[in-house]
Amino acid sequence: VKSIAQQENISEAELKTIKGSGLEGRITKEDILGFVANRGNQPAPQAAPVQVATIPQPATSAPAATIPVSAGDEIIPMDRMRKIIAENMVKAKQIAPHVTSFIETDVTNVVKWRNKNKAIFEKREGEKLTFMPIFVKAVVKAIQDFPMINVSVNGENIIKKKNINIGMATALPDGNLIVPVIKNADQLSLSGLAKAINDLAYRARNKKLRPEDTQGATYTISNVGSFGNLMGTPIIPQPQVAILAIGAIVKKPAVLETADGDVIAIRNLMFMSHSYDHRVVDGSLGGMMLKHVHDYLENWDLNTEI
């Protein structure tokens, strides 16, 4: 709502005239878009534009080149959500110098553990057990090892976050992207994480998320493997300073060290890529944090309770 208000130059006085349909009268995205659609039909009170969170403004870019349109080409106007996503992505790249580290992880134990427990969990809880709760658990433990990855930048100050709130990038049926947030993920068990993730994913796909469900993330995970991709170079969502992309799990031959020498075995391998803001996260911190996620997944205890 704040982004739309700023983009449309909606004054604070105008905002006060909008009747909110959300919880406790809050103004929702639908409310403000309806106001914008009908704005030309009513006089707008004159007042200073509404003030929003202070973030560094990117330098003005050069005018976009004219794109030639050939016969038969289709012109599709961006919807409001796609415009906001596009603007946020451009800002994120202009504000934060991105660096990405990669690692390949043997998740054979994770796959075995899930195969052993998914039927038990579904029978007990009535819900699917995906890999995401395991990934979130490993990320939370790594953040606890390296708390300076759980920060934001405000001018020349670094804000170290107390809570660990994990954003979960989710593709919507219409092709847009939304990031629901698992609040206080460090305080949830594996079972609690599984329930929270399933609930957020379901409500995201069915447009039932509340505004607070997408606010307050301190670190984000993007599962590009769900599309069959091996790896990606994700863009860090502001004001976070890092994001992890998880690739598809693929069976491959791998060299294992045993007491009797090296052997080749079929293992479940997965790439992870870690993008981080080089203003405050150096290669050592970004790389070590990724390595700890890798170690937690490779050494997953097959006797872990769910």
> How far is 293 from 281, CA to CA, in rounded Å?
16
Q: List all residues 6 or more positions away from 10 whose beta carbon is below 8 Å from its beta carbon.
A: 4, 32, 35, 36, 49, 50
Question: Which DSSP helix (H) or strand (E) runs through 190?
Answer: helix 190-205
> How far is 171 from 225, CA to CA, in rounded Å?
12
> How far is 228 from 177, CA to CA, in rounded Å?
17
Question: Which DSSP helix (H) or strand (E) runs through 283?
Answer: helix 283-298
Annotation marks residue 31 as catalytic: no
Residue from 145, 199, 278, 295 carrying the catalytic annotation:
278
Residue 148 CA to chain centroid, in angstroms? 18
> How far is 86 from 164, CA to CA, in rounded Å?
26
Q: Are 131 and 114 in contact (CB under 8 A)?
A: yes
Q: Are 251 and 266 in contact (CB under 8 A)?
A: yes
Place of tokens 């405000």: 154
> How far is 15 from 39, CA to CA, in rounded Å?
12
Written as one string, the DSSP assignment of 174-189 is TS-EE--EETTGGG--
Residue from 282, 292, 294, 295 carrying the catalytic annotation:
282
Annotation marks residue 274 as catalytic: no
Question: What Cα–Cα distance (Å) separates residue 294 from each residue in 22, 70, 232, 271, 273?
Answer: 41, 48, 16, 10, 11
Residue 133 CA to chain centroid, in angstroms? 14
Residues annotated catalytic, as ranges: 278, 282
